[in-house]
C-alpha cells in the first residue's frame, strides 16, 4: 500500500496500529525542513470536564510562534482534540480571537475532532490529549473501543500531518498510563518514531529464512518486541514476543529449517517446552504465502489474549532528533510573553529618564546586570511556585530594589528566563510562569 502524504516517521504509528506494516511510505524524511517530524510536548495542564485550558493556550502560543518563524512560512496548521468537541470548540474560539483572519484563511488553521479531518491534511498537526495526571494511581486505560472506534479515531488523527506532528499532553506516560493504553502507544511513538525500524533491523540478521523475516517484519511493524532464535536449554524457538513479563513462542513451519517431515520432532519439542510453561502458536508457510493476513490473525489474537502489549521497545536512542527548531519556537513565545505589545509605549519612553528610574539610589546601571537563576527561583518560590508573568516581573524588579520595570530590566530577565526554560527549571503556560 503506497503512501505519499506523511513523512515516514509520522505514518509509522498508523502503519503499526492499523495496517500491520503494509503501508509503504514513499516520501523521504528530508523532503521537509521541519525537524523533528514528531514532537511530544508536556504542559502542566489540568482536565476540567472535557477541556484543558493550559493545553489549549500552549497550542495557541505555539501557532503564533510558528507564524513568526520563517521555517513555517506558508505552512498549513490543524488542531485535533483527542477527547471530544468541547476542547476543539475552545481552541477554535481562541484561534478566531487571537490569530489574524488572513493567516487563518491562507494557512487553513482550524481546530476540530478527528472526524472533521477525515480525508483532509495539514502540514502541521497538533493533537490535544486533554487528560491530565490523576491525583493517585493511573488513568483509566484507553483501549480500541467498541467496534474499534477509538483505534480508528487515533489512526485518522495521527496521520493527518504531512511534515510535523505535535502531541500536547498533561500527563506522564510512564507513571500515569498502563503499557497497553492507546495513549501510551502514541506517546512512545512520538518519543522515538524509528523504534519499529530499529527493532526489525536488530533481529533480522538472526532469522533463518525469508519466511521468518516476513513474519518478524509484521510483528515489529505492529509494535511488538520480538526476539529471534531464543535459546531454551538444548532447544531454540524461532521467535518469542514478550512484554509485561509475558511471552509467546512462535514457530514458522514449512521451510527448509522446519520441513513437514520434521513436524513430529517439532511438536515433541513444543510439548516439552509447554511443560515448562511456554505457550506456542505455529504458522504454516504455505498458508502464509497464500494469505499473510489470514495466517497472522491467530498470532495477533493470541497476543491479545495474553495481553502482551505493543510498543514495548527499549528506551529511545539519545538523541532521537534535533530539537533546535522547537527551542526557537519557545524563544519566540518567551519573548512575546515578556515583551507584550501593550508595553511598547513604556519601552519607547525617553531612554535617559528610564535609565534613571531603573537605577537604585547611589548605584550605577551596571548593578542591573546582577540577575541570576537562584534569585529568580527564590522569588518565584516565594510567590507560591507560580504567578502571572507581569506580576512576577514586577516582583523580581522590586526584590532587586528597582523603582520600576523598564526596558533594560525586561531584557535581562528575558535572557535568564530563556535559560531556565531550556534547562527545564520553569515552565510558561499562557501568561503564567511556574517553578518546576
What CA–CA distance (Å, rounded) separates 285 from 292?
9
pLDDT of residue 361: 39
| 2-193, CATH topology level | Rossmann fold (3.40.50)
Share of the chain above pLDDT 70, in %: 81
| Cβ proximity of 266 and 299 under 8 Å | no
Q: Which residues pair with 428 in a beta bridge?
A: 433
Band of pLDDT at residue 403, cut at 50, 70 and 90: low
Average pLDDT over residues 55-63: 94
| Cβ proximity of 398 and 392 under 8 Å | no
Residue with cell 533463518: 208
Q: What is the tens place of the pLDDT at every residue in 115-172?
A: 999 999 999 999 999 999 998 888 998 988 998 999 999 999 999 999 999 999 999 9
pLDDT value at 417 more than 90: no
Q: Which residues pair with 80 in a beta bridge?
A: 112, 127
pLDDT of residue 341: 52
**105-109, 147-151, 188-192, 339-343: which has the highest mean pLDDT?**
105-109
| ω into 36 cis (within 30 of 0) | yes
Q: What is the tens place of the pLDDT at every residue in 13-37?
A: 888 788 877 787 777 787 888 999 9
Closest C-alpha to 10, from 18, 21, 29, 19: 29
Buried b (16+ CB within 10 A) or exposed e, 297-330: eebbebbeebebbbbbbeeeeeebbeeebbeebb
Closest C-alpha to 252, from 225, 226, 224, 222: 226
Residue with cell 497472522: 296
What CA–CA distance (Å, rounded) separates 204 from 218?
12
- Across the chain, mean pLDDT equals 81
Axis-axis angle for helices 407-422, 324-338 (nearest 10): 150
Q: How far from chain centre, in Å, is Cα 378?
A: 32
pLDDT value at 314 more than 70: no
pLDDT value at 72 more than 70: yes
What CA–CA distance (Å, rounded) separates 387 from 432?
6
**In 3-state terms, the chain is what percent helix, strand and coil (to 5)?**
50, 20, 30
What is the domain partition of the chain in residue ranges?
2-193, 197-305, 330-435
Band of pLDDT at residue 318, cut at 50, 70 and 90: very low
Band of pLDDT at residue 319, cut at 50, 70 and 90: very low
Band of pLDDT at residue 372, cut at 50, 70 and 90: low
| Cβ proximity of 106 and 138 under 8 Å | no
Which set of grid coordinates corresponds to residue 358? 531603573
Band of pLDDT at residue 183, cut at 50, 70 and 90: very high
DSSP 168: E
**16-25, 265-274, 296-305, 421-430: which has the highest mean pLDDT?**
296-305
Residue with cell 518519543: 191
Architecture of domain 197-305: 3-Layer(aba) Sandwich (3.40)
What CA–CA distance (Å, rounded) separates 242 from 257?
23
DSSP 48: B
Give the DSSP per-residue string, 200-240. HHHHHTT-SSHHHHHHHHHHHHTT-EEEEEEEETTEEEEEE
pLDDT value at 370 more than 60: no
Amino acid at each position: 500500500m503506497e503512501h505519499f502524504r506523511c513523512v515516514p516517521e509520522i505514518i509509522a504509528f498508523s502503519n503499526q496500529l492499523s495496517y500491520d506494516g503494509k503501508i509503504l511510505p514513499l516520501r523521504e524524511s528530508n523532503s521537509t525542513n521541519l525537524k523533528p517530524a514528531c514532537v511530544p510536548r508536556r504542559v502542566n495542564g489540568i482536565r476540567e470536564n472535557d477541556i484543558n485550558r493550559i493545553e489549549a493556550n500552549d497550542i495557541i502560543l505555539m501557532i503564533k510562534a510558528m507564524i513568526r518563524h520563517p521555517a513555517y512560512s506558508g505552512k498549513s496548521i490543524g488542531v485535533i482534540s483527542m477527547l471530544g468537541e468541547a476542547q476543539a470548540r475552545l481552541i477554535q474560539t481562541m484561534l478566531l480571537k487571537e490569530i489574524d483572519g488572513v493567516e487563518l484563511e491562507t494557512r487553513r488553521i482550524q481546530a476540530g475532532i478527528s472526524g472533521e479531518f477525515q480525508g483532509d491534511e495539514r502540514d502541521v498537526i497538533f493533537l490535544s490529549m486533554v487528560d491530565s495526571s490523576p491525583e493517585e494511581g493511573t488513568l483509566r486505560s484507553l483501549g480500541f473501543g467498541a467496534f474499534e472506534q477509538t483505534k480508528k479515531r487515533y489512526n485518522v488523527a495521527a496521520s493527518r500531518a504531512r511534515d510535523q506532528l505535535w502531541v500536547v499532553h498533561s500527563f506522564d506516560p510512564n507513571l500515569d498510563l498502563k503499557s497497553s493504553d492507546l495513549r501510551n502507544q502514541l506517546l512512545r511513538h512520538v518519543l522515538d518514531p524509528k523504534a519499529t525500524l530499529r527493532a526489525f533491523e536488530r533481529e533480522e540478521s538472526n532469522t533463518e529464512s525469508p519466511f521468518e523475516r516476513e513474519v518478524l517484519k509484521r510483528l515489529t511493524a505492529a509494535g511488538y518486541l520480538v526476539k529471534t532464535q531464543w535459546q531454551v536449554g538444548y532447544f531454540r524457538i524461532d521467535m518469542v514476543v514478550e512484554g509485561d513479563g509475558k511471552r509467546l513462542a512462535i514457530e514458522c513451519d514449512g521451510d527448509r529449517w522446519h520441513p513437514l517431515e520434521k513436524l513430529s520432532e517439532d511438536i515433541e519439542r513444543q510439548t516439552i517446552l509447554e511443560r515448562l510453561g511456554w505457550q506456542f502458536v505455529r504458522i504454516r508457510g504455505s498458508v502464509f504465502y497464500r494469505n499473510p493476513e489470514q495466517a497472522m490473525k491467530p498470532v495477533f489474537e493470541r497476543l491479545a489474549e495474553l495481553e502482551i502489549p505493543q510498543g514495548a521497545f527499549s528506551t529511545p536512542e539519545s538523541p532521537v532528533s534535533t530539537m533546535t527548531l522547537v527551542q526557537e519556537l519557545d524563544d519566540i513565545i518567551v519573548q512575546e510573553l515578556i515583551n507584550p505589545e501593550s508595553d511598547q509605549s513604556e519601552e519607547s519612553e525617553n531612554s535617559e529618564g528610564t535609565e534613571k528610574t531603573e537605577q537604585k539610589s547611589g548605584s550605577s546601571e551596571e548593578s542591573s546586570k546582577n540577575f541570576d537563576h537562584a534569585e529568580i527561583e527564590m522569588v518565584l518560590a516565594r510567590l507560591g511556585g507560580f504567578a502571572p508573568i507581569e506580576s512576577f516581573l514586577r516582583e523580581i524588579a522590586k526584590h532587586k530594589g528597582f523603582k520600576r520595570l523598564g526596558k533594560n530590566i525586561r531584557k535581562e530577565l528575558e535572557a535568564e528566563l530563556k535559560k531556565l526554560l531550556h534547562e527545564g527549571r520553569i515552565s510558561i503556560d499562557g501568561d503564567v510562569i511556574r517553578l518546576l
